[in-house]
C-alpha cells in the first residue's frame, strides 16, 4: 500500500534556493494568522511546507451531545471531514484510499469505520525551464525591470488540472494581483499600476512566445 | 496614432480603465440564482467587446449552467503557435455588503487602486489579455500567434460544466500553451510566476459504535465510545513534530508491525 509521502516529488536544491528568495517566513506567518508560533514538517521552511509538501487537515469533527446543559449519552456515531493538500506526483484518489485504509486499519475492533471519498483535484507543475515559462519570465522582466521569482501555490486551480489531463497542455499562470487584494471579501481591489504593467507584459509575452517555442522545437 | 502595440496600450490606458469599469458594473454573481440575467449580460458584454477589439469569431455558448464565452483568432496560420487564454467572468457574492467602503458594483478609484467586486478576481485580470490582443489587432492588423479565449461563468461555484465542455470541444481547444491570469505576484514591484499548484483529496469519516445512542449510566464503561476512538484516530494522523504520521507508518512499517507502532 503506498504511503502519504511515497509519490512526493522532492524539492531540488536549486528549487529550494529559489523558494528561499520569497520574503515570507515564520514572522510573516505569525503576523498573517495570529498563531503564537509556526508548526509543520521538520526540515522544511514555511514556504516549502505550504507550496512544496503535502498536508493533512481536519476540517470538522462532530458527534454526540453539544446542546445546553447535560445529557448523559454515549453517541452511536462520530464524524470527521479531512482534507489533504497534495503535491506532484501524488494521486488524489490513491491518497484518499490509502488514508482511509490506514484509519480503518488502526481503528480498534470495538467500532467500524466507514469513509466517503469526494472528488479530488490532482496537483500541477510546469517545469521552470519550459520555453513558455521562460518567455513569461522575460516578458515580466521587460516591464518590471526585475526577474520574476518562481513560486509554488498551496491552493488548487482545478482548471489547470483539466488542461493538463484532458488537453495535455502546460499552463502559464501569469498573475498580476496582490496577496492583499481582498479576494472573496469586502473591498476587493486591483492595484492599477500592475493592471497597466499586466497589459504590457501580455503584449511582450505574445511577441516572445513564438520564438521561444520554435527554438525549443 | 500609435505605431506599436506597446505605444498603443500606453496611449489608451484611460479608455481601458473605463471599459473595465463597465464590465465590473455588471453584478455577475454565479452562485445566486437572482443574478442569472446578469450572468447572461456579462457574457454578452464580453462577446460584444471581443468583437470590438477585432475578433469576429466569438460565441456565447450555452452550458447546463452559465454560458461560456469562446472566441478564436487563427490568423497567424497553422505554423504559428496557439495560446489558449482562460478567465472567468463570474464573481463572488458581496456579503457583508456594509463593510464595503464603496458599493461593490460601482467601481471606484482611490489613489492607485481600483475597488470593485471582480476587480482582480478575475474580470480585471482577464481584461489584461483582451487589451493586449486589441493592441496588436489595432496597430498591426494581426497577432504573432493564434489565440483562443475561453471565459467561464462558473469558476466561483466549482466549474461544474467546464470539464464536460472541455471534453466535448477538446479538438477545438487544442493549443500549445494555456495562459491564465488569476493569481497574485509577491510584491507590487517584485513579479513572480506560480509554477506548481497543490492538489486536493477529501474524505468524510464515520465511526460507528453502538447501533443507537446509549445511556451512559446503563452502558458507560462497558462499550467503546466512537468520539474517543475518533479522537485517537485523528491524533494518529500526525506525529508530535508535525509530520504526517500515517505517512511514516504506511511507508516503513511491515504489515505485522502496524498495530504496535502506530
pLDDT tens per residue across span B48-95? 999 999 999 999 999 999 999 999 999 999 999 999 999 999 999 999
Contact A85 B198 (CB under 8 A): yes
Give me the percent of chain A exceeding a pLDDT of 70: 99
Q: What is the pLDDT of residue B104?
A: 98
Residue A145 lies in a domain: yes
Q: Are residues A89 and A146 in the same domain?
A: no
Rounded to the nearest integer, the mean pLDDT of chain B is 93
CA B25/CA B21 separation, integer angstroms: 6
Q: What is the pLDDT of residue A199?
A: 98
For A175, the domain range is 131-216
Q: What pLDDT score does A217 carry?
A: 73
B179 neighbourhood in chain A, CB within 8 Å: 171-172, 174, 205
A87/A142 same-domain check: no
A122: in domain: no
**Residue from A86, A117, A190, A208 whose CB has the most chain B CBs within 10 Å, to mutate:** A190
In a domain, A3, yes or no: no
Give A114's contacts in chain B (Cβ within 8 Å).
205-206, 208
Element (H, E) at A177: strand A177-178
Same domain for A34 and A94, yes or no, is yes
Does one domain contain both A199 and A158? Answer: yes
**What phi-psi label fits residue A74: left (phi over 0), alpha (psi between -120 and 50 degrees) or beta?**
beta
In a domain, A193, yes or no: yes
Which residue in chain B is spatially nearest to A120 when comparing CA positions? B201
Is the Cβ of A190 closer than 8 Å to some Cβ of chain B? yes
A113 belongs to a structural domain: no
Instruction: Name the residue among B116, B187, B200 with its Cβ closest to that of A156.
Output: B200
Nearest to residue B81, comparing CAs of A173, A126, A212, A127?
A: A212
Claim to verify: residue A80 and residue A141 sit in the same structural domain: no
- A50 within a domain of the structure (yes/no): yes
Cell of B57: 469569431
Residue A114 resides in a domain: no
- What pLDDT score does B242 carry? 82
Query: If we measure between CA atoms, which residue out of A10, A8, A77, A20 comes closest to residue A46?
Result: A20
C-alpha distances in Å from residue A74, one per residue of A61, A208, B246: 16, 67, 28
Predicted local distance difference test score (pLDDT) of residue A133: 98
- Given a contact cutoff of 8 angstroms between Cβ atoms, the answer to whether B95 and B31 are in contact is no
Q: Which chain B residues have a beta carbon less than 8 Å from that of A214?
A: 81
The C-alpha R_g of chain B, in whole angstroms, comes to: 26
Residues in B closer than 8 angstroms to A64, CB to CB, are: 227
Question: CB contact, 8 Å: A66 with chain B?
Answer: no
pLDDT (average), residues A121-146 = 96
Residue A56 to residue A86: CA distance in whole angstroms: 9
Shared domain check, A206 and A135 = yes
DSSP-derived 3-state class of residue A125: strand
Model confidence over A18-40: pLDDT tens digits?
Answer: 999 999 999 999 998 999 999 99
- Residues A187-205 have pLDDT tens digits of 999 999 999 999 999 999 9
- Return the SS3 of A174: coil
Residue A87: its chain B contacts at CB < 8 A? Answer: 196, 198-199
- pLDDT higher than 90, residue A13: yes
Measured from the Cβ of residue A155, the count of other Cβ atoms closer than 10 Å reads 14
Measured in angstroms, the CA of B11 and the nearest CA of chain A are apart by 11
Residue A146 in contact with partner chain B when CB distance is under 8 A: yes
Displacement of CA B95 from its chain's centroid (Å): 19
Instruction: Name the 3-class secondary structure at B40.
Output: helix
Report d(CA B258, CA A62) in Å as an integer.
27
Residues A137 and A175 in one domain: yes
The CATH number covering residue A56 comes to 3.30.70.360
Number of domain units in chain A:
2
d(C-alpha B135, C-alpha B235), whole Å: 57
Q: Are residues A99 and A19 in the same domain?
A: yes
Tell me, yes or no, whether A91 and A18 share the same domain. yes
Burial class (CB in 10 A: 0-12, 13-18, 19+), B13: middle
Asked if the Cβ–Cβ distance from A83 to B188 is below 8 Å, we say: no
- Residues of B labelled catalytic: 90, 155
Whether A216 and chain B come into contact, CB under 8 Å, resolves to no
For position B243, what pLDDT does the model report?
85
Question: Is A1's pLDDT higher than 90?
Answer: no
Phi, psi angles (nearest 5°) of residue A156: -120, 145
A54's CB contacts (< 8 A; 6+ apart) are A4, A5, A8, A84, A85, A86, A87, A90, A95, B198, B244
Does some domain include residue A116? Answer: no
Q: Which parts of chain B have pLDDT scores under 50?
A: 248-262
Q: What is the spatial distance between Cα A167 and Cα B171, in angstroms, rounded to a whole number?
A: 9
Say yes or no: A195 contacts chain B, CB-CB below 8 A.
yes
- Residue B124, chain A, CB below 8 Å: the answer is yes
d(CA A23, CA B36): 42
Question: To the nearest 10°, the Cα dihedral for B29, B33, B38, B42?
Answer: 60
What torsion do the CA atoms of B95, B186, A164, A4 make, to the nearest 10 degrees?
-90
- Shared domain for A65 and A137, answered yes or no, is no
- Give the model confidence (pLDDT) of B246-260 as tens digits: 554 344 333 333 333
CATH number at residue A155: 1.10.150
Domains and CATH numbers, chain B: 5-180 (3.40.630.10), 216-261 (no CATH)
Amino acid at each position: 500500500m503506498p504511503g502519504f509521502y511515497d509519490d512526493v516529488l522532492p524539492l531540488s536544491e536549486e528549487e529550494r534556493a529559489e523558494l528561499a528568495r520569497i520574503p515570507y517566513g515564520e514572522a510573516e506567518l505569525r503576523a498573517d494568522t495570529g498563531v503564537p508560533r509556526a508548526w509543520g514538517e521538520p526540515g522544511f521552511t514555511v514556504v516549502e511546507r505550504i507550496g512544496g509538501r503535502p498536508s493533512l487537515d481536519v476540517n470538522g469533527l462532530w458527534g454526540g451531545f453539544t446542546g445546553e446543559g447535560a445529557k448523559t449519552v454515549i453517541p452511536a456515531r462520530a464524524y470527521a471531514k479531512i482534507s489533504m493538500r497534495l503535491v506532484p506526483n501524488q494521486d488524489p484518489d490513491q491518497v484518499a484510499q490509502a488514508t482511509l485504509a490506514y484509519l480503518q486499519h488502526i481503528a480498534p475492533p470495538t467500532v467500524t469505520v466507514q469513509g466517503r471519498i469526494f472528488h479530488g483535484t490532482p496537483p500541477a507543475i510546469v517545469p521552470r525551464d519550459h520555453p513558455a515559462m521562460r518567455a513569461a519570465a522575460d516578458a515580466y522582466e521587460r516591464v518590471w525591470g526585475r526577474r520574476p521569482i518562481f513560486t509554488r501555490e498551496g491552493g488548487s486551480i482545478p482548471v489547470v488540472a483539466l488542461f493538463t489531463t484532458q488537453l495535455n497542455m502546460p499552463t502559464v499562470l501569469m498573475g498580476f494581483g496582490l496577496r492583499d487584494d481582498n479576494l472573496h471579501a469586502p473591498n476587493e481591489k486591483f492595484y492599477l499600476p500592475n493592471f497597466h504593467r499586466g497589459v504590457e507584459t501580455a503584449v511582450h509575452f505574445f511577441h516572445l512566445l513564438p520564438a521561444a517555442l520554435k527554438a525549443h522545437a | 496614432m500609435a505605431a506599436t502595440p506597446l505605444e498603443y496600450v500606453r496611449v489608451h490606458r484611460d479608455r481601458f480603465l473605463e471599459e473595465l469599469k463597465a464590465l465590473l458594473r455588471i453584478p455577475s454573481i454565479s452562485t445566486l440564482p437572482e443574478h442569472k440575467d446578469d450572468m447572461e449580460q456579462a457574457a454578452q458584454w464580453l462577446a460584444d467587446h471581443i468583437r470590438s477589439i477585432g475578433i469576429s469569431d466569438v460565441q456565447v455558448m450555452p452550458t447546463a449552467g452559465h454560458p461560456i464565452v469562446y472566441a478564436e483568432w487563427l490568423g497567424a496560420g497553422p505554423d504559428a503557435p496557439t495560446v489558449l487564454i482562460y478567465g472567468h467572468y463570474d464573481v463572488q457574492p458581496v456579503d457583508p455588503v456594509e463593510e464595503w467602503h464603496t458599493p461593490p458594483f460601482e467601481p471606484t478609484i482611490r489613489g492607485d487602486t481600483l475597488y470593485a467586486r471582480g476587480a482582480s478576481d478575475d474580470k480585471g485580470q482577464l481584461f489584461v489579455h483582451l487589451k493586449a490582443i486589441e493592441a496588436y489587432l489595432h496597430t498591426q492588423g494581426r497577432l504573432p500567434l493564434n489565440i483562443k479565449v475561453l471565459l467561464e461563468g462558473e469558476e466561483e461555484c466549482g466549474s461544474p460544466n467546464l470539464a464536460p465542455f472541455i471534453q466535448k470541444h477538446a479538438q477545438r481547444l487544442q493549443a500549445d500553451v494555456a495562459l491564465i491570469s488569476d493569481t497574485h505576484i509577491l510584491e507590487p514591484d517584485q513579479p513572480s510566476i506560480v509554477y506548481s499548484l497543490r492538489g486536493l483529496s477529501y474524505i468524510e469519516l464515520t465511526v460507528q459504535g453502538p447501533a443507537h445512542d446509549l445511556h451512559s449510566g446503563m452502558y458507560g464503561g462497558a462499550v467503546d465510545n466512537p468520539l474517543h476512538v475518533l479522537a485517537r484516530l485523528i491524533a494518529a494522523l500526525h506525529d508530535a513534530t508535525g509530520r504526517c504520521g500515517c505517512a511514516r507508518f504506511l511507508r516503513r512499517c511491515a504489515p505485522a508491525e502496524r498495530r504496535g507502532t502506530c
